Amino acid sequence: MKKYLWVVSLVLVLGLLLSACGGAAAPEQQAPVEGGGASAPAESGGEAAAAPKDGLAPELSVYNWADYIDEAILTNYEKEYGVKIVYDTFASNEDLLAKLQAGATGYDIIVPSDYMVAQMIELGLLAEIDLNNIPNIKNVDPHNLDAYYDPGNKHCLPYQWGTTGIAYNQEVFKDNPPDSWAFLFDPDQAKKWQSAGGINVLNDQRELIGAALKYLGYSLNSTDEKQLQEARDLILAVKPYIKTFNSEDYEQSLLIPGEVVISHSWSGNAANAQAETDGKWAYVIPKEGAMRWQDNMCITASSQRKATAEHFINYILEAKNGAALTEITYYSSPNLAAKEFISKELLDNPAIFPPQDQLDKLEWAQPLGESVFLYDQIWTEIKSQ
C-alpha cells in the first residue's frame, strides 16, 4: 500500500512497468537451493556482488507493493551478504494472489495485507517461519504481533501498517475540510469536486467497496448481498464524476502535481504528498470509520530459499532498517525499536501515527470466504459499467 520512492533504481522501474502490464512476471526457473552456487557472480549496480555469506543462497526474489521499500536497504543487504535481490512489484492483494494461483513459483518473499494472509494460509500458499531465525522479532510492538489472521506469527512478520481515508487539497477545501465519505460518495458533492479539479479512488476492490459500505453504515467486511449491491449502486452513481481509479502511482501522478483535488487514499501516500507540496495536501479518517491494515513479510510455500528469506526478514526488522522504511514510505512502523531513529516530524504526524481516538474508528479487513466471488462479481460490474 505504498508510497513513492525518491530514488528509484532500474530494477524498481522495470518492476513498475511489469506490474502496470498486469503484474510482474515470476522468474522462469528456480534459483539454486539454499547455499547452492551460482554459475556467475551476481551483479548489482554495475558491481559484482561478493560470494554469499553464511551458506545463504546467491539470489532472493522479493515481490512487494510498488514503491514500498528504501532502495538502500536492498543494496546494503546485497553488499553485506552477497545475495542478489530480484525485486518485482504488484498493485493489489488480488493481483498478488492471482499471480501465485496462476502457478508462479519463483518468488521467495511476498508482502500481502492482513486479510490476504489468512486467505493464503488457507490455500496453502505460505511456508511456516522458524521464529528462532528471527531474533529481531523482539523489536516489534506486541500490538502488531499475534494478529487474528496469523496467530503466533507462524507464517508472517509485520512490515508496515497504516489506514485508508481521504486525501484532500487544503487550498480547495480550506473552508470545508472533508470529514465524511460523503465527499466521495454523495453525487452532488462528487459532481462539485469533479468541477473543482477531479476525484481519484483506489483501484482496489476491498478498499473501495469497503469505504462505500462504511458510508452506508455497514461493516467493511459485509457479506450480505443486499448491502453489497447498495455499495455497488452507490459507487456507480458517482462513477461519472470520478476522474481516475488509481492505487499504484496516484501520489506522484495525481496528488503532487494537482491533477485531482480529492482522493481516496492510503495514509502514507497522503502524508508524503503533504511533505512534497509544503502542506498543500492533508489527510482525514472519515467519521463513519475506515480500514486499518497491516502488510506482512511472508515466505511462499514454493520457495527453495527459506533460510535466506528468513535471514532477509530478520534484516528488515533491524531497528534502523525499520526506521528507514517509515522515513521513505511515510507509513507507520510496527517496529518499536525503530522509533528511536524516526524523525520527530513523522512521529508527530497523525496521518502516520494516528491517536487512539482515530484508531478506535478503524476496522480490520477480514477474510470473505466464499463471498469473495460476490465481491469479484460486484467489482467487475463497477469497472465495466
Give the model confidence (pLDDT) of 281-328 as tens digits.
999 999 999 999 999 999 999 999 999 999 999 999 999 999 999 999
For residue 103, is pLDDT > 70?
yes
For residue 12, is pLDDT > 80?
no
For residue 19, is pLDDT > 60?
no
Per cent of the chain over pLDDT 90 is 82
For residue 140, is pLDDT > 90?
yes
User: Average pLDDT in the 1-11 region?
Assistant: 38
**What does the DSSP assignment read for 37-106?**
PPSS--EETTEEPPPPSTT--SEEEEEEETT-S-HHHHHHHHHHH--EEEEEEESSHHHHHHHHHTT---
CATH 1.10.357.10 fits 163-292+354-384, yes or no: no
Q: What residues does CATH 3.40.190.10 cover in the chain?
A: 10-161+293-347, 163-292+354-384
Residues in the chain: 385
Contact between 312 and 77 (Cβ < 8 Å): yes
Rounded distance between C-alpha atoms, residue 337 and residue 201, angstroms: 34
Mean pLDDT over the full length of the chain: 88
Residue-level pLDDT at 367: 87
pLDDT tier, 47 (very low <50, low <70, confident <90, very high otherwise): very low
Task: Kindly provide the b/e burial profile for residues 368-377, where b requires at least 16 CB atoms within 10 angstroms of the residue's own CB.
Answer: beeebeebee
Q: Which amino acid is at 354?
A: P
Q: Could you list the beta-strand ranges (E) of 238-384.
A: 244-245, 262-266, 281-284, 290-299, 362-364
Q: Which of 74, 280, 68 is nearest to 173 (CA)?
A: 280
Residue-level pLDDT at 315: 98
For residue 40, is pLDDT > 50?
no
Contact between 249 and 89 (Cβ < 8 Å): no
pTM value? 0.82
Bridge pairing between strands 156-169 and 262-266: antiparallel
CATH architecture of 10-161+293-347: 3-Layer(aba) Sandwich (3.40)
Rounded distance between C-alpha atoms, residue 48 and residue 208, angstroms: 45
